[in-house]
Structure 1
Amino acid sequence: MRTHFEPEQSNEFEAAKELFIRRCSVWAGEQQLTVDPFILDAALDFRHYSVDGRLGFWTVDLVRAFLLDWIPRQVSVSADDAADIPDMLLTMLRYLHHTALDDPTGDALPDIETAIAATAGDTFRQAMSDERNFGIAKFWAMRAITSGIDPTDEVAMRRFADSARAGRVEHDDAILNDIVTRHLRGDGGPPARACSQLPVSLPPEHELAAMAEDNRLVRQLRALTDWVGAGRALTATGQLKLVDARELIELLGTGDTVDPVVGGRVWRTKSSTELAGLILVVEWAKKLRLIRVVKNRLVRVAKSQPLLRASLALWTAAFNTFNELADAVVQPRVYGHAPGMLHDVFDEAVPDVLNTIYGMPAPVPVKRLAESVWLSCQAAFGLDDEDEDEDESQQSIWRQTVEADLRRMLRILAEAGGVEQAIGPADPMFLEDLSGSDGSDGLDGCDDLDANDFAASLQSISTGLPPDARERLRAALAPDAGPVETVALSHLGTHAVRVRLLAEGRYMPLVGELTDTDPARLLGMIAQHYTPETGREEILRWLAAHGGEEAGLDSLLDAVRSCSFRHRAAAMLDALCTAQPDRTALLQRLRSDAALGSIAVQFLVEDEELDPDSLTERESLLAVTEQLIQLLEIAGPDAVRESFAQASSSDMRDLFGALLGSGHPDATGLDELRRLVVEPLQHRGNRRPARKRPSRSVRSVRPKR
């Protein structure tokens, strides 16, 4: 089964929950453990409605959040009735581990077991008993239960609600006010789901540290901090003295010119504030708390020494503080004038632009970024391309000014070593999603990443681009339009963005981080979160670390064979075969494999490497059985039963007899097919005969990756 679904994939998620709860409950019974399907459902909802949505990803902090925050807020049961919930959560997490559905980037099971043991008992009981932890609905539900009312009795609950509105139900007003205030602030609600990110490849950390050690910005920050020393006096207005500024320009290499000569005339520099490059470095150091102003003196911050010594940490902190430097990068907006529009959205635009560039397989055209940033500015200032109050030429000037500020921002980041700028042809992928006219530009979705469609991974800074913006982009990025300015993150920039997004709770796959993972979890992660290219690289790294291709490949195939879920096994095998030099050769080798043959045949037919009419009777029967078991897993029993809606009883009897006796290797799947599909259909009575039998051809049930 899949362990990650986008928010809009509610049907798929519900089917996966049903499958998981059914299988976990059976396993728990075999282990003589007690588990409540309601708690399993709650735990899966807790992870699905989260920033990253990974059902198998659990940490000590997430366990504590679920038991001490989510359950007390959401589940309307008394502390006594909830006493077994920590143990039930542990049972679920052990089942995740047993089936290799747990995310290997989460905390180890022994650490989680320790955390649950520490949370259970008095700590959990206290959290469940404290009304201040309740949500509004639970607060009143528990009041009703305390009053002896069954919350499932609609009539009684309506009478109770009337009494509560009339003020006849005893409660603590202060606690209720706190709950309502928290609710209105949005505290405790489900976080917004973040868009999925493509895996990235990075050099080892020691190489990144060496890059940071040689980085221009790192050298400037260290040199400035050393120069400040015990303290430097500022002017009466709190600025660097001009004499000090002259010294620092040379020391830091900021590129500023004092008393520049323009048109044969010397323009006297009257203040250090005119030296943009120097001021940027000084303000950057202030934001990082390397230096600060005390009594009109610039002084070093003593606690900054550990950061100054760690080059990679210093670089990362500096890069991720850039969005706080609007005043030093772009001009503030003057009312009624265009300059500085980007200034007002700078703190949001910078991370959004960098998030958009992150992980892209080709440099992004700056024009593409500029249109989305302009859209953000329009939204921030309540503008509209068709606004009658502003003529078209004025908006065009404003848009061009925003683009100029964006280019300055990117130039500064390039000088700092965070991005790489180039001039060249735009990759065709940046034109592929601009052909429509519905205002959807491909930058606004959070759909599951399609391994064969990198354009689907583009993220918006705002919403869909309007038709005129799409027309401008089609013209600017056309193959015959000539070279364009492009931008990509450097290795250091990619590292810094990844660190920031990880801190926000995002899942940021990194090629190589699964090298020490066992085969089942390796392939499970690759099948769901990697592209063919990054999946191939991850598998090659794993093979190199585990005895080479021959021995390692057998281990990976064994992991697929032992997978408890056929749809997941198919996705794992698909990822593994795609990573091989000859996908078809491996599938042909597996055609006679007892455990994987039916999946291999399915893929060979889909790849048009095998004619369905050439299948043996046994292969065809196994293939149909495989399809139905996978359909049962991904869509549920109703979907399978519906596929036989027009079949006669005799046809179904013959077919089901053949399917259940096919010898398919998935005994669990066959048993579920019998209990959940065959037996209910046999009890429904005769339907109008349909003479057409299900096709022998192998239809696609290819797992989504």
Structure 2
Amino acid sequence: MSDERNFGITKFWVMTAIRHGVDPHDGSAMGRFLDEARAGRIEYDDAVLDHIAARDAHGDSGLSERAVVQLPVSLPAETELATVAEHAPAVVQLRALVDWVGDGRALTATGNLKLADARELVTLLGTSDIIDPLIGDRVFRTKSSTELPGLSHLVELAKEIRLIRVVKNRLVRVAKAAPLLRDGLALWTTGFDALPALDILIGPALWVAEHTRMLDSILDDVLPDILNTVYGLPEPIPVIRLTESVWMACTEAFGLDDLDPADATRWRKGVGADLWRLLSVLAEFGAVELTVGQPDPMYLVDLDPTWELEPGEPASLPPEAMERLRAALDPGVGPVDLVSLTPLTTRAVRARLLREGRYAPMVGELSEAEAAPLLGMITEHYSPETAEAEIAGWLAAHGGRERGLRQLLDGVRSCPFRTRAAAMLDVLAQNVPDQSTFLQGLRADEPLGPIATQMLVQEGEITPDELGPEEGLRAMTEQFIHLLELGGADAVTGALAELPAG
């Protein structure tokens, strides 16, 4: 850990800045420092930097790639989710289909539903299929049930999750599926988990566009990625952002970089239409909610041309994709298509993440945790909104605010690392009614006072000149302890050497 050659690019420059007396939390100071470094006016170990750069260029970090940390989510009670599932369109349709099958239904010689049965089911189940569609002034007669994708997908889903099966060219019910049919929440979840295994985009049509076949062939990977992206987001995400990510996945999987611009545009728009169709299927299933509105500003921040990446951080999308997003999401364009997960889907995605060994926190699950681990987890993984809910739930479970707050402060006091203790106290201070009064009340606290004083100075509530000799000395000592934890003894020695002798 002390060998600089094992640092990442970001840590290398942060530690170099600290050694030169620069506060890495001061954005302006860091900017000036990096400008000085680029101009060759900052001394650093060229050999170490070359080693780090060469290692990163070859992807040889010596570590396995970590999955993206998922945001904590809030979920209704299981009883509420069960009630919602009972009325979900997919559950109602699957149950109605099994009831319709009854003692068995004969199929055509090719193993499809008879057209008369298909016509009946479209009305009974309320699928989105149109029989004998009118296009322009011409009626196109439906000749086979395979021309009804909504119904076809529903029947295939029922087969996939073993509600029905084909026996001697007859569609029959599976007796063992009775308990699943009675449990609406389990039925919905089982059906949702089976969606990637179905040819949602292709169906039984004779002709399918090449870009559709391409996306469908990698849907097993793409669909979970889409759901993971939307999972936990506090506001609906613009569909166009997902479109660009899905197009990039197709480009990487099939090597489409060599397409000429016209073909690339045509294929990209085709993939966008396919994605919208996929989201529409999910919406009909009750898995996502599609709306139209102005995107939350959080989805525009990284599109600003002045947005700066962290040193060594790769761009999330190619420059041309960023330009398309800037144009599509410009506030002057007006409302755009947005998508969010329903609570049922959030529950199902979280269960899948946990099965995969991922960490997927849920608000409320820490109500019995010890104080220090609670604040540590919230500090690392929670948004302001979910942090507030988690702390409120914890306090309610531990005797109310007055009693629980004392326990949380004891948890901060017990932390042996001052930088972590500061982060824990910060998240706690953000969730009390009056942050300034709360921190002022801690200034005389022996273990927490120096941290509280630092926070008050940073917030402009007090100035260093207002501190008495002992409080000022303790606050300065706190700063050096933080520097010691972040950079080691050499960083402290270097910083002390640069201070005026007085």
| Range into which the TM-score falls when normalised by the shorter chain | 0.7 to 0.9
Q: What is the aligned counterpart of 2:281 among 412, 415, 422? A: 412
For 2:219 and 2:308, locate their aligned partners in 1 and report how far apart those are by CA, in whole Å: 25
**Structure 1-normalised TM-score?**
0.59
Correspondences of 1:232-271 after superposition (within 5 Å): 232-271=105-144
Aligned amino acid, residue 418 of structure 2: R
Cα distance, 1:296 vs structure 2: 2.5
Judged with a 3 Å threshold, the aligned counterparts in structure 2 of structure 1 residues 641 and 334 are, in CA distance, closer, same or farther, namely farther
Judged with a 3 Å threshold, the aligned counterparts in structure 2 of structure 1 residues 499 and 332 are, in CA distance, closer, same or farther, namely farther
For 1:396 and 1:691, locate their aligned partners in 2 and report how far apart those are by CA, in whole Å: 62
Correspondences of 1:650-661 after superposition (within 5 Å): none
Correspondences of 1:411-450 after superposition (within 5 Å): 411-436=280-305
State the partner residue of 1:293: 166
Does the 8 Å contact 1:441/1:465 carry over to 2?
A: no
Partner SS, residue 340 of structure 2: strand
State the partner residue of 1:584: 436
Cα distance, 1:507 vs structure 2: 0.8
Judged with a 3 Å threshold, the aligned counterparts in structure 2 of structure 1 residues 225 and 437 are, in CA distance, closer, same or farther, namely farther
Q: Deviations over 1:434-464 (max 9, x none)?
A: 234999899x97xxxxxxxxxxxxxxxxx73
Judged with a 3 Å threshold, the aligned counterparts in structure 2 of structure 1 residues 557 and 243 are, in CA distance, closer, same or farther, namely same
State the partner residue of 2:189: 316
Cα distance, 1:243 vs structure 2: 2.2
Q: Does 2:247 correspond to 1:395? A: no
For 2:486 and 2:220, locate their aligned partners in 1 and report how far apart those are by CA, in whole Å: 42
Does the 8 Å contact 1:536/1:580 carry over to 2?
A: no
Partner SS, residue 523 of structure 1: helix
Cα distance, 1:327 vs structure 2: 4.5
Judged with a 3 Å threshold, the aligned counterparts in structure 2 of structure 1 residues 512 and 348 are, in CA distance, closer, same or farther, namely same
Does the 8 Å contact 2:201/2:212 carry over to 1?
A: no
Judged with a 3 Å threshold, the aligned counterparts in structure 2 of structure 1 residues 333 and 439 are, in CA distance, closer, same or farther, namely farther
Correspondences of 1:188-587 after superposition (within 5 Å): 192-327=65-200, 337-384=210-257, 387=258, 390-436=259-305, 464-587=316-439
Cα distance, 1:691 vs structure 2: 4.7
For 2:373 and 2:416, locate their aligned partners in 1 and report how far apart those are by CA, in whole Å: 13
Aligned amino acid, residue 477 of structure 2: T
For 1:277 and 1:256, locate their aligned partners in 2 and report how far apart those are by CA, in whole Å: 6
Cα distance, 1:297 vs structure 2: 2.6
Q: Does 2:451 correspond to 1:599? A: yes
Q: Deviations over 1:610-650 (max 9, x none)?
A: 10121111112111222233333344344334434x37xxx
Does the 8 Å contact 2:180/2:186 carry over to 1?
A: yes
Aligned amino acid, residue 467 of structure 1: P
Judged with a 3 Å threshold, the aligned counterparts in structure 2 of structure 1 residues 523 and 566 are, in CA distance, closer, same or farther, namely same
Judged with a 3 Å threshold, the aligned counterparts in structure 2 of structure 1 residues 510 and 471 are, in CA distance, closer, same or farther, namely same
**Structure 2-normalised TM-score?**
0.82
For 1:8 and 1:222, locate their aligned partners in 2 and report how far apart those are by CA, in whole Å: 55
Does the 8 Å contact 1:598/1:619 carry over to 2?
A: yes
Judged with a 3 Å threshold, the aligned counterparts in structure 2 of structure 1 residues 243 and 206 are, in CA distance, closer, same or farther, namely same
Q: Deviations over 1:45-87 (max 9, x none)?
A: xxxxxxxxxxxxxxxxxxxxxxxxxxxxxxxxxxxxxxxxxxx
Aligned amino acid, residue 267 of structure 2: W
For 1:277 and 1:631, locate their aligned partners in 2 and report how far apart those are by CA, in whole Å: 62
Cα distance, 1:357 vs structure 2: 0.9
State the partner residue of 2:475: 623
Partner SS, residue 423 of structure 1: strand
Judged with a 3 Å threshold, the aligned counterparts in structure 2 of structure 1 residues 198 and 9 are, in CA distance, closer, same or farther, namely farther
For 1:617 and 1:441, locate their aligned partners in 2 and report how far apart those are by CA, in whole Å: 39
Does the 8 Å contact 2:443/2:449 carry over to 1?
A: yes
Judged with a 3 Å threshold, the aligned counterparts in structure 2 of structure 1 residues 628 and 486 are, in CA distance, closer, same or farther, namely same
State the partner residue of 1:643: 495
Q: Which 5+ residue runs of structure 2 have no aligned equivalent?
A: 1-6, 16-61
The structure with the larger Rg is 1
Q: Deviations over 1:357-399 (max 9, x none)?
A: 1111221111111111111122222112xx3xx4422221211
Q: Deviations over 1:344-368 (max 9, x none)?
A: 2222111111111111122111111
Does the 8 Å contact 1:259/1:269 carry over to 2?
A: yes
For 1:255 and 1:527, locate their aligned partners in 2 and report how far apart those are by CA, in whole Å: 46
Partner SS, residue 447 of structure 2: coil
Q: Deviations over 1:118-173 (max 9, x none)?
A: xxxxxxxxxxxxxxxxxxxxxxxxxxxxxxxxxxxxxxxxxxxxxxxxxxxxxxxx
Q: Deviations over 1:313-343 (max 9, x none)?
A: 2222222222222345578897994443322
Partner SS, residue 488 of structure 1: strand
Does the 8 Å contact 1:368/1:473 carry over to 2?
A: yes
Partner SS, residue 340 of structure 1: helix
For 1:354 and 1:484, locate their aligned partners in 2 and report how far apart those are by CA, in whole Å: 19
State the partner residue of 2:501: 692
If asked which structure has higher relative contact order (CA below 8 Å, sep 6+), I would say: 2
Q: Deviations over 1:680-702 (max 9, x none)?
A: xxxxxxxxxx7535xxxxxxxxx
Cα distance, 1:535 vs structure 2: 0.7
State the partner residue of 1:113: none
Judged with a 3 Å threshold, the aligned counterparts in structure 2 of structure 1 residues 251 and 330 are, in CA distance, closer, same or farther, namely closer
For 2:279 and 2:324, locate their aligned partners in 1 and report how far apart those are by CA, in whole Å: 21
Judged with a 3 Å threshold, the aligned counterparts in structure 2 of structure 1 residues 356 and 288 are, in CA distance, closer, same or farther, namely same
Partner SS, residue 202 of structure 1: coil
Judged with a 3 Å threshold, the aligned counterparts in structure 2 of structure 1 residues 265 and 248 are, in CA distance, closer, same or farther, namely same
Does the 8 Å contact 1:280/1:328 carry over to 2?
A: no
Judged with a 3 Å threshold, the aligned counterparts in structure 2 of structure 1 residues 247 and 190 are, in CA distance, closer, same or farther, namely farther
Does the 8 Å contact 1:198/1:531 carry over to 2?
A: yes
Q: Deviations over 1:219-249 (max 9, x none)?
A: 1112222333343322221111222212222
Aligned amino acid, residue 497 of structure 1: V
Aligned length: 447
Cα distance, 1:215 vs structure 2: 0.6
Q: State, as a whole percentage, how many aligned pairs show the same letter.
A: 55
For 2:306 and 2:109, locate their aligned partners in 1 and report how far apart those are by CA, in whole Å: 58
Cα distance, 1:552 vs structure 2: 1.8
Partner SS, residue 360 of structure 2: coil
Judged with a 3 Å threshold, the aligned counterparts in structure 2 of structure 1 residues 526 and 228 are, in CA distance, closer, same or farther, namely same
